[in-house]
Structure 1
């Protein structure tokens, strides 16, 4: 799961528009931002198996980011940061926390069994990665549905119609690019590339959320 995670961010923006899209976008990948940092430092471990269908990542050890208790902790931290640091309304802050936690739920759909239910506990994952075409269809489908909801929400606010399809198109292009680029087996490279991609999407969300182009109707 890559851009599919952003469906939660876009849906959150449609439901609670007082939260900035860039905050929701960062929240959707906050767990993986932490994972990238811990991969770089060697605290968590990943390797690459090019013979695997779909994602070639072998996620060997990631209890501090992708275990169920860790995901819950990241969610609480995300909500508190949104409220106390960014001064968002409580409803938007809670939505940020929900978006953070959605990362684990969506990963559960696609990951092979590598998500620990508790520290040192059994690992779960439905393994949709093993079926690349349906997995990609799920990701793009989630983005499309969330994008439609966001476009409708923007229309109700009198905002222009361009931002939603443009941002969705950017995400789809990013997904295709990620599929075509050769994988890097170096854990540091994987971590750096992941964080860079998330920051690029966060920056794109800043521009997509600008209210300047209001509808003339």
Structure 2
């Protein structure tokens, strides 16, 4: 799961628009942002197996980001930061926390069994990665439906459909690039690539969420 995670961010923006889209986009991948940093630092571990169907990632050790307790803690921490540091309304902050937790739920669908139910506990995952066509269809379908909901919300607010369409196109293009790039570079390289991609989407979300300039009379 890559761009499919951003469906939660876009849907949350449609439901609770008082938080900026960039905060939702960052929340959707906050767990993986932390994962990328910990992989680079050697705290969490992965390897690559190009012979695997779908994703070549073999996620060996990631208790601090992708275990269920860790996902809950990251979600609560993000909601608290949004409320007390960004000064967002309580409902918007809670929505941001829910978006962070959605990452674990979506990973549960696609990951092979590498998500620990508790620290040191059994690992779960429904392994949709092993079926690349349905998995890709799920990701694109999720962000398309979420973008439609956000477009409707912007239409109600008089903002128009352009931003959702452009942002959706950017995410689809990013997904295609990720599919075509060979899985190589080692753990640190994967961590750096992931962080670069998440930064690019966060910046794109900030750009897409800009208020439309009023037209001159």
Q: TM-score range by the shorter chain?
A: over 0.9
Report the Cα distance in structure 1 between the residues aligned to 2:136 and 2:215, rounded to whole angstroms.
33
State the 1:59 CA deviation.
0.1
Aligned to 1:143: 143
State the 1:185 CA deviation.
4.0
Aligned to 1:44: 44
Report the Cα distance in structure 2 between the residues aligned to 1:213 and 1:161, rounded to whole angstroms.
14
The yes-or-no answer on 1:20 pairing with 2:27 is no
Per-residue CA deviations over 1:155-205 (Å, capped at 9, x if unaligned) read 001102200010000000000000011112411101010011000000000
Alignment of 1:1-217 (within 5 A): 1-213=1-213
State the 1:213 CA deviation.
4.4
TM-score (norm 1): 0.98
Q: Secondary structure at the match of 2:98?
A: helix
Contact 1:116 1:123 in 2 (8 A): yes
Contact 1:158 1:214 in 2 (8 A): no
Say how many residue pairs are matched: 216
Contact 1:161 1:215 in 2 (8 A): no
Report the Cα distance in structure 2 between the residues aligned to 1:111 and 1:194, rounded to whole angstroms.
17
Q: Secondary structure at the match of 2:58?
A: strand
Contact 1:159 1:215 in 2 (8 A): no
Residues 166 and 183 (structure 1), Cα distance of their counterparts in 2 relative to 1, 3 Å cut: same
Contact 1:159 1:213 in 2 (8 A): no
State the 1:69 CA deviation.
0.1
Contact 1:159 1:214 in 2 (8 A): no
Report the Cα distance in structure 2 between the residues aligned to 1:161 and 1:130, rounded to whole angstroms.
35
